[in-house]
Structures are given as structure tokens and as C-alpha cells.
Structure 1
Amino acid sequence: MGGGMDSQSECFIFFGLIMVLLAAAVQQMMPSPPATCVGIDLGTTFSCVAVYDDGEITVINNRGKSITPSVLFQPPDDGNLIVGEGARAAAAATLGGTLIYDAKRFIGKPYVHETVLREARGLPFEVVPGLSTVRDQLEPHLQFEAGGQRIRLSPEDVGTLVVHNLKLAAEELIGRSVENAVLAVPVGFNRKQINATKQAAVNAGFNVLRTIHEPTAAAMAYGLHTRPQVNTVMVYDIGGGTLDVSLLDLSNGIFTVMAAAGDNRLGGQDFNLVLLEHLVEVVGARMPDGSPPLTSDPEAMRALREEAERIKIELNDEADCSGRFDSDDPAETEVRLPASLAAAGPLTVDRAVFERLAAPLLERALRPVHEVLKKVEMRQEDVDELVLVGGSSRMARIRQLLRDHFGDREPNCDVSPEEAVAHGTAIQAAILTDRKKISVGATEAALHTHLEGVER
């Protein structure tokens, strides 16, 4: 009746442990099951979808590009709406028709006439009141004509078509239907705006497992949730149409948004516009006497608009994280004029001209940084990590401004800024579906909280 185990019991336990270890090893060697959940960034200007599979994040290509324009194009003859990259291409090749964009600016908002007038200025479609029976309020709807018919879409409708386009791309890559998604939303969205964004994804065929703040997703993409020495993170997110700056606290695996500020009218499109206005002025002055104004020529304006964007990218995108250029990076570029404007050439634009034109915009680019630090009574040196998000964060002068403001410390741009939010939502999707184990259970506090000072 002794208390010890006999040799037969010890052998049984030993072989049992061996079998458990062998089973675990076999499981590790077996291919992982197909992904069942993707991460989605439905942006104002561009959108992106990503998936975690076989230990890696894959940002899913759509028509050969990792980001998809958040736009629709309605042909003039009342044909089917075209989505994404195809919409931009069709708009560039078609006389007439309507390009529908910036729908995210209006999603889930109540219709307030003065606000809509300001937000809709310059858009090629009307913004009119329409009843949302789900939220029991009048909301902005987008109205345009095609084939003699008046067409009206809600911002949710636009979002649905964009997200469905992403869903098709994801399913083509994964090779099966994908039903679940984690969806990123801006910090400044209130409950109705979040629900409207979720509804767009639901209408596109997704079951939304969770929404996550865009800056939290970006911080996860950079792996900051796995670095115990990081407690305070500033996310600087400047995309095509908006600038959002958020200050996150990371404690015990929980992200909390401490403060946020932004500029709802500052993004890459605004930098394109100042270049476009410059080109119109210079090219117009060089055209022969008696030539019609460029602004009356839709084809010429379309060509110059595309050229303004190309020039901005070419003069900025070779900069490193600090905003510095190599000696062989181009400091100027030749303007590619269409045949109808050949009489105005040759013409070049250099980086100094761009920075002079952009100076008023660049001055605004640091204001939200000052605001968020002031709100929480912090200094620049209290920020452990500064991460860049959004395609416009590639601009050299913006990176230089941030580096100088933070005492010559370089911002973190290890992840492609256009893809960072989708990358982070894919990580969250993998965690929720048990495809990714992390040592820190990253989550976030009070997603529904509408933060003061972020205009939407």
C-alpha cells in the first residue's frame, strides 16, 4: 500500500506524454485550414483588405494593386456602376458620366444643411437629404443623373459596393467563400456612423465579428502590442482626404485612445489641388493668344489633374522615413502635357516649387499633433513610438516636419502606410478566429466613445 507509482504506471504516463508531443508536432506540420476571416480598411479615398494565413499577413491585390480606390463611376448612358480601379480608369477614358467619391465623409451623419454645403463643395454630384429608416434620421444621399434618369445612393450603398469588390478579391485569393471580417473605423465616428459602416459590410455579404479603431489597428500592424517597453503611441494618419492624429495608451494589452484630433479637409487631394492650380495658371499663360480657358476643356483638366498627382508622388515618394532623399533622387520632373497643350511645353516642376505651393497645407499638418499632446498634458519626449499611416504620409516634407518636431527622432514606417490599417485588422481577425497566438491579448477600451475634437 505504498504511496509511489509502480513501473507500469510510469511507463503509461511516459508513453502518453510521447503521444501528446507527437500529435502536437504532426499538427504543426499539417497545413493550416483556409482563412475564414479578413481585415478591412474602408477608407475615404482608398480601401484595403488583408488576411492572416500560414503565419503571414497578405494584403490582397485587386487588379494588380494592394489598395482599391473607394470610388464608383456611373457611365453617362445609365450602364452598370463600375467600382474601384476600374471606375477611375473608366472616368479617365469617358466623356461625361459621374465619378462618385468621398462617400465616407457622409456615412451615418444626420443631414445638416450648412455642414453638407461645406462638405459637398466641388463634388461632381448633388448631396441631398434622404431618410434612413434604420437610424430614423435624415442623412446625406448622393444624387446624379445618367441616361435621363435621376439616381440616388446612400453612403452605405457606395460602401457596400466597394467592400463587395474587396470581398471578391479576397475570395479569389483564398479560393473559397469568406464570410467574416474585422472592420476598422475612425476614432471620431459615433455609434450611428460605426453602425452605418458595419451595415455596408453586412450588405456586402460579411458577418462583422468586430470593429476596431483605425489607429489601434495600425499600432498592431507595427507589432507594438508585443513590445512591453512601449506604452504611449502616436498614430499620424494622413490619407487622400483627411488627417487624423491619435494618442494611444497601451497597458496590460489594452489600447486606450487618450486623445485625438484631426483635419477633415487635409489630405493628398489637397496637395494635388494646389499643384493642379499651379499647372492651370502656368500652362494657360503659355498657350497661344485666343486659346479658350483651360477650365472650359474637360479633357485638358482631366489630363492636368492626373499629372498633378503624378508629380506629387514623383517628387516625394523616394524619401526615407526621416524625409531625406538620396543624392540621385529626382529634384524636379518634366510635366507631361497632352497633345492639345503641347504648345505650352516644355515645362518642369521642382521640389522647391511644390513645397512653396504646399506651405499653407504643411502648416496645418502639425496642428493636430500639438492638440493631442496638449489635451493630455504630454510632451513630445513622452511618446514612445510615432507611426505613420496613410499614403500621404509618404510626403517628404511631412516626414521632415514630424522628425523635427520630435527632436530629430525618425517616425516608424516599417509597414507600408497605405496597408497598415488593413494589416492590423487582419491580425485582429486571426486572433478572434484562433489562427494567431500572441503573448499580449491586445484589445481596446471604449470603442463606442466619440472623442471631442475630431470633426466627422
Structure 2
Amino acid sequence: MKNFVGIDLGTTFSVVAYINKGKPEIIPNDQGNRITPSVVDLGSYPPLVGDDAKEKQSLGDKQVYAFFKRDVDNPHALYLENDQEFTPIDLSSMVLSYLKKCAEEFLEQSVTDAVITVPAYFNNMQREATIEAGKKAGLNVLRIINEPTAAAIAYGVRPNQTQSKILVYDLGGGTFDVSLVDVMDDELRVIATDGDHILGGKDWDDRILQYLSTKFEDDFGVELIGEDFNELMTLAEKTKISLSTKKSVKVSVQGSGYQEKYEITREQFEELTKDLMERTQMLVNIVLEDANITWNDIDGVVLVGGSTRMPMVREYVEKMSGKRPLGGVNPDEAVALGAAIQAAMDVEARQQETPELFLSGKNNQQKLYS
């Protein structure tokens, strides 16, 4: 039997998973981390991918690239380094190749097949571009499935005779997507989806960055630039993460020979980002209106994406929906875990010649077993 994995090829982070004794598990990268930054440093040879590339990005290196997933089907998006042209497909293939290598080192065997996930709104060109990236990485792509479908699978949702509807609220590092999954007796169908592809956890970071840099400039009359600004960007992200477990955080800001400590509370942070949460609610309402349903018709809410770890998100979604979000799965890892389960079902079905079931997107249908 060929060796397979499930891959969440994300805008800001990517994750790879496999099936271990019947259960999906995350494969750590060669740094020991369970999630890998979707970042590529083209200034190094060979190019650096993941944590090392993100470290160089934090230092302001101009030859480091991220967010290329947004342009995966854009033939005019080119990255020029060392007299070479690279496309978003090339950079995506580098991330996939890195994840493949990490999986092979962890499993101590070759990895040949993969199910790769994409946003539900991806069109056929974007899906084909993702398949091409997989092939360039040396993978046989078993199929492309929608991220909300994979997330639902990870939370234990399967086609069944009890028809239900699951809302998937996916707040990642750089994008927000909300999808409605219709669970039927022979399929999981994404019946409505919307999102903001420039709204994500980084916007929450930026609010902290703006707050601290403004305080510093007001106190000392100097603007943070260069390495000082880059360092504060890194501190802003760390502060956001800390505020998920702490009520307040003290941050040391320095620049132009000055240094000062500022305290930011969780309550302040929530007030600074209140409008961002409201933007997500507006998009959720659009999806419900598109499907012509209300919250009373929703049977469960699934939170996906690392940014949903922020307490304000879970509290906001619970207040908005009147339902406690489903638990038991790491939101960073749900999509990859679901992709690994899908890969296992595909492989098993081919061996057993199981009758076909279907996983459907809003605009295109995908076979669950083929």
C-alpha cells in the first residue's frame, strides 16, 4: 500500500497529518513544531522553508515571501531572485516538498500520496494550480477537498441519515472564511461560503502594533523604523498569543535609544479589535442569508484556525450563535487531520471497491471515493 498523508496548505501556516493505528495524528516538522509557516526564503540556496524562513522574515529580509497562496492561479505573479523567476505554484510546491520531507523523516519511509485542502471558494483554476504544486513536490494528489469539509470530518462529522447543518468559522493568520456544510445521508456539501481574504490574525497583531508604536511615539517623539519596528511586530504577535492565557501583558518597546514598558490588558485588546469581530459576524450573516436559514437551523459550530484560540472569538461566536462551539480538536490542526482521514478513506475504498459517496463544494462536486 502506498504511503499517504493529509496536508493543510494554508495561507500563513501549513500542517501535515497521517493515520497512526486508525487515528489521525500531526507530523511535526524538523524543528519539532506541529505547524509550519507558509514562508519561503529565496535568498538562500537551496531556498529555506518554514520556521527558518519566518525567522529571516522577522528580521526584515526582502527575499522572503509569504501569502503567495492568494495568487496561486495568477500567471502575472512572479518572484524574481538570483536571476530566476518563481511563481506562486513554485513557492507552494516548496512548502509541500518540505512537508513531504518532514513526513518521510518522521515516518522513516517514503510518502507518495496526499489529499490537499483548499478554501471552499477556490475555483477550478486555483484547484488545478494546487494539484500542479503537489505534483512538482513529488506527490500524487489523491484529491483536493474543501477546508471546511476536512474540518467537519476531523470533528467526526460523516454522511448519515440524520440530516444536519454545520457552520465552519475559520479564522486563520491571514484569511477569514465561513462555510455552511450540509450533512446528508450520502454526502457533505458546502452549500454557502463567504469570507474576507485579507482579514486574519495578523490584523489583530497590527492593532497591538499600532497601539504600542503610537504610545511610544507620543512619549518620546520618535517613530519606530527598521529593526526596531520589525522587533515590535514580532512582540505584537507574541503579545496576542499571551493574552489568550493571561489577563494582561507587559511589553518592552525600544527605539532610537529610548525604552519603555507598556501594559496591555485583554479587555483593551478586545476593545481595539471589536470592529474586526464585527466584520466576521457580518460575513456569517451573509452566509446564513444566502442559504435562507437562521441560527435555529444550525446543528453545530466548528472553530478552525489558530486565531480562534483567542478567548474573544469563542465568546463572540457563542454569543452570536447561541451555541457552544464543538470541541475536542486543535483548531490549528483540524483541517490537516480531516485531510488525513479523507486520504485513508480514499485508499481503503479503492482497495475494497466501496460504492461512491460524495463531498461537494458550493460550485463543484467532488467524489468522496473514486
TM-score (norm 2): 0.91
Sort the Cα spacing of 1:173 and 1:54 in 2 relative to 1 into closer, same or farther, 3 A.
same
Q: Select the residue among 71, 79, 102 that pairs with 1:143.
A: 79
Cα deviation, residue 152, structure 1:
2.8
Query: 1:250-261 to 2 correspondence within 5 Å?
Result: 250-261=183-194
The count of residues paired between Structure 1 and Structure 2 equals 362
1:71 maps to 2:39: yes
Cα deviation, residue 261, structure 1:
1.0
**Cα distance between partner residues in 2 of 1:389 and 1:446:** 18
Sort the Cα spacing of 1:202 and 1:270 in 2 relative to 1 into closer, same or farther, 3 A.
same
What amino acid sits opposite 2:332 in the alignment?
E
Cα deviation, residue 441, structure 1:
7.5
Cα deviation, residue 55, structure 1:
1.6
Q: Select the residue among 243, 246, 268 that pairs with 1:353.
A: 268
Q: Is the 8 A contact 2:93 2:136 kept in 1?
A: yes
**Cα distance between partner residues in 2 of 1:441 and 1:390:** 30
Cα deviation, residue 384, structure 1:
0.6
Q: Select the residue among 397, 404, 416 that pairs with 2:330.
A: 416
Which residue of structure 1 aligns with residue 4 of structure 2?
Answer: 37
SS of the residue 1:140 aligns to: coil
What amino acid sits opposite 1:355 in the alignment?
E
Cα deviation, residue 445, structure 1:
2.6
Which of the pair has more CA radius of gyration? 1
Sort the Cα spacing of 1:216 and 1:441 in 2 relative to 1 into closer, same or farther, 3 A.
farther
Q: Is the 8 A contact 1:225 1:442 kept in 2?
A: no
What amino acid sits opposite 1:404 in the alignment?
K
Which residue of structure 1 aligns with residue 285 of structure 2?
Answer: 370
1:335 maps to 2:251: yes
1:60 maps to 2:27: yes
Q: Select the residue among 190, 212, 234 that pairs with 1:306.
A: 234
SS of the residue 2:252 aligns to: coil
Higher-strand-fraction structure: 2
Query: 1:383-394 to 2 correspondence within 5 Å?
Result: 383-394=298-309
**Uncovered stretches (5+) of structure 1, i.e. residues with no partner:** 1-32, 110-138, 319-329, 451-456
TM-score (norm 1): 0.75
Which residue of structure 2 aligns with residue 233 of structure 1?
Answer: 166
Sort the Cα spacing of 1:440 and 1:234 in 2 relative to 1 into closer, same or farther, 3 A.
farther
Cα deviation, residue 90, structure 1:
2.9
**Cα distance between partner residues in 2 of 1:263 and 1:91:** 24
Query: 1:6-155 to 2 correspondence within 5 Å?
Result: 36-62=3-29, 63-75=31-43, 79-93=45-59, 96-109=61-74, 139-145=75-81, 149-155=82-88
SS of the residue 1:141 aligns to: coil
Cα deviation, residue 67, structure 1:
0.8
**Cα distance between partner residues in 1 of 2:355 and 2:169:** 23
Q: Select the residue among 140, 149, 158 that pairs with 1:207.
A: 140
**Uncovered stretches (5+) of structure 2, i.e. residues with no partner:** 366-370
SS of the residue 1:224 aligns to: coil
Sort the Cα spacing of 1:276 and 1:305 in 2 relative to 1 into closer, same or farther, 3 A.
same
Give me the identity figure in percent. 36
